[in-house]
């Protein structure tokens, strides 16, 4: 394989990581926290206010330990309140606070604006192609990881 192709691939991954979807730091949340907060607000992880860690993990592709740390951090900043069910200690109820709702709303406005500008410049057809290619790339990376773990 051409060494320049490998180099270009690595360089663009780092460049995208640096310049990709980013929320201004003044909002005090990162994109993963925003996604989880939106999921809680819209009940995408469950039908009630209880939080299913496995469902959050499958939607965000982060570990349960990282999700727990994220909730602790969001709780310390006053964006969520978390309670353990007294009858079932595995069941956790998480709600956004008014401060959490405000930060979520502002962050969503900024992210939506940035996404609209990005997609407008790229074009919808290319955006869908990019999504398909990134999905394929993610599938390949997961397959290789599984193969290497089994070796």
Structural domains of the chain, with CATH:
28-150 (1.10.10.10)
Say which residue the tokens 């401060």 belong to.
99
Half-sphere exposure at residue 135, Cβ-oriented, CA atoms within 13 angstroms: 6
pTM of the full predicted structure?
0.70
Alpha-carbon gap, residue 82 to 75, rounded angstroms: 7
Averaged over successive runs of 10 residues, the pLDDT of the chain (151 residues) comes to 86 81 71 85 69 74 87 94 81 87 90 90 96 93 90 67
Instruction: Write the CB contacts of 23 (distance below 8 Å, at least 6 apart in sequence).
Output: 29, 30, 31, 34, 107, 110, 111
pLDDT value at position 136? Answer: 95
At residue 56, the pLDDT reads 78
**pLDDT on residue 28:** 83
Q: How far apart are CA 67 and CA 60, in angstroms?
A: 9
Residue 120 phi, psi dihedral angles, 5° rounding: -60, -40
Tokens representing residue 101 in the block: 């709702």
């Amino acid at each position: 394989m051409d060494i320049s192709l490998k180099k270009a691939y690595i360089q663009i991954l780092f460049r995208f990581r640096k310049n990709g979807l980013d929320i201004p730091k003044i909002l005090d949340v990162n994109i993963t926290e925003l996604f989880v907060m939106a999921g809680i607000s819209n009940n995408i992880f469950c039908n009630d206010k209880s939080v299913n860690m496995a469902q959050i993990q499958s939607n965000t592709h982060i570990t349960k330990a990282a999700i727990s740390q994220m909730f602790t951090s969001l709780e310390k900043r006053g964006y969520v309140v978390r309670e353990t069910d007294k009858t079932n200690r595995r069941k956790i109820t998480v709600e956004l606070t008014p401060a959490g709702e405000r930060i979520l709303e502002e962050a969503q406005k900024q992210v939506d604006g940035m996404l609209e500008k990005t997609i407008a410049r790229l074009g919808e057809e290319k955006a869908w192609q990019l999504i398909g290619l990134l999905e394929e790339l993610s599938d390949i990376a997961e397959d290789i990881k599984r193969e290497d773990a089994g070796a």
